[in-house]
Amino acid sequence: MNLEQLKQLKAKAQQQVALREGNKKYRVVVSMGTSGIAAGARDVMKTMLDEIEKRGLDDVEVRVTGEHGLESIEPVMTVEEASGEKTTYAQLDAEKAKQIVTEHLQKGKKVDKLAVGKQKKTE
Amino acid sequence: MLEELSLHILDIAMNSLAAGANRVAIAVVESQRHDFLILRVRDNGRGMDAGTLDRVLSRGITTKKSRRKNIGLGLALLRQSSEMCAGHFHMKSAPGQGTSVTASLRLSHVDRPPLGDLPATLLTLCAANPEVDIRLNYRTDTGRFDFSSQELTPKGKTNT
């Protein structure tokens, strides 16, 4: 760790703030409990943020949550559409996270092979 | 296991958020001269009473369904790392008074985990919790870096 790396933090955080405004089409929730973190959830999160920023996707909101009780398939994230439809992706890594950004969040195509469980609707 | 100290920081800060904090202050002091590394996470969340404090620190709590078990696990792991590296672990909390977790380690200890990607920890916390003030004070023998997520404004928008 050095101070130079930390200085870039400010600029990066600033760019994130810039993407915060505007209407959100997708809400991404990454599980960031102890087991998620141990399984690599932070790297997944970092990749998501980098890719979203690189592509300027200001219609995506990224949040975190605690444990899901899904320890065995961490890292886990859920993509929620404005319609309430939810897709859960599991056993993620940076590469898969990137794929979810380019396919699901950018093109609107679900990445079926990474999704787990059945589609759920809220309400 | 959490292999980087910055992952522990993230883990503890997640506890702070779960405790309803709107301010999480992270301090990292790294001194080559005095051969120590200190990590501290302080929040203004709801805090906990002495009984709960004891409980979260004991190892191997597996009251399933309860989120608390995992909180206990993460802290126990950090305490283990810090004590293994000739350091100390200290936690202070009271209901309504927030919680403060401090861990020190000997910088040159062979078993000391790397600090790791501290910026990634901070960005994760900031991005996911825009309404929470995430602060970092990082100090070394020769310099310092201070950060507060509430200093950021949406004005950087023009370059997107």
In this prediction, residue B157 carries a pLDDT of 42
Asked whether residue A21 carries a pLDDT value surpassing 80, the answer given is no
Verify whether the Cβ–Cβ distance B123 to A12 is below 8 Å.
yes
User: By percentage, how much of chain A surpasses pLDDT 90?
Assistant: 58
Verify whether the Cβ–Cβ distance A1 to B30 is below 8 Å.
yes
In this prediction, residue A42 carries a pLDDT of 96
Task: State pLDDT tens for residues B107-124.
Answer: 999 999 999 999 999 999
Residues of chain B under the 70 pLDDT cut: 1, 59-72, 153-160
Interchain contact B66–A (C-beta under 8 A): no
Total-model pTM: 0.89
User: To probe the interface with B, which of A6, A43, A48, A71 has the most B CB atoms within 10 Å?
Assistant: A6
Verify whether the Cβ–Cβ distance A34 to B1 is below 8 Å.
no
Interchain contact A49–B (C-beta under 8 A): yes
Spatial strand order of the sheet with A60-65 comes to: A60-65, A26-31, A77-81, A85-89, A115-121
The alpha carbon of residue B153 and the mean position of all alpha carbons in its chain are separated, in whole angstroms, by 25
The alpha carbon of residue B50 and the mean position of all alpha carbons in its chain are separated, in whole angstroms, by 20
Tokens of B144: 């310092």
Taking a contact as any Cβ pair under 8 Å apart, which residues of chain B between 36 and 65 contact chain A?
A: 65
Q: Which residue has the tokens 């995430």?
A: B134
Interchain contact B156–A (C-beta under 8 A): yes
In this prediction, residue B61 carries a pLDDT of 52
In this prediction, residue B122 carries a pLDDT of 95
Smallest Cα distance from A67 to chain B, Å? 7
Nearest to B17 by CA among B73, B71, B87, B54: B71
Interchain contact A22–B (C-beta under 8 A): no
Nearest to B12 by CA among B52, B46, B50, B41: B41
Smallest Cα distance from B50 to chain A, Å? 23
Residues A88 and A29: beta-carbon distance below 8 Å: no
In this prediction, residue B159 carries a pLDDT of 39
Instruction: Report chain B residues whose CB lies below 8 A from the CB of A3.
Output: 138, 140, 143-145
Distances (CA, A) of B57 to A20, B101, B111: 37, 11, 21
Asked whether residue A26 carries a pLDDT value surpassing 90, the answer given is yes
Task: State pLDDT tens for residues A42-81.
Answer: 999 999 999 999 998 989 999 998 876 677 898 999 999 9
Alpha-carbon distance A53 to B131, whole Å? Answer: 20
Instruction: Using CA coordinates, name the residue in chain B closest to A19.
Output: B157
In this prediction, residue A118 carries a pLDDT of 63
Alpha-carbon distance A105 to B137, whole Å? Answer: 35
In this prediction, residue B125 carries a pLDDT of 94
Q: Which residues contact B71 (CB under 8 A, 6 or more apart)?
A: A34, B15, B18, B56
The alpha carbon of residue B18 and the mean position of all alpha carbons in its chain are separated, in whole angstroms, by 13
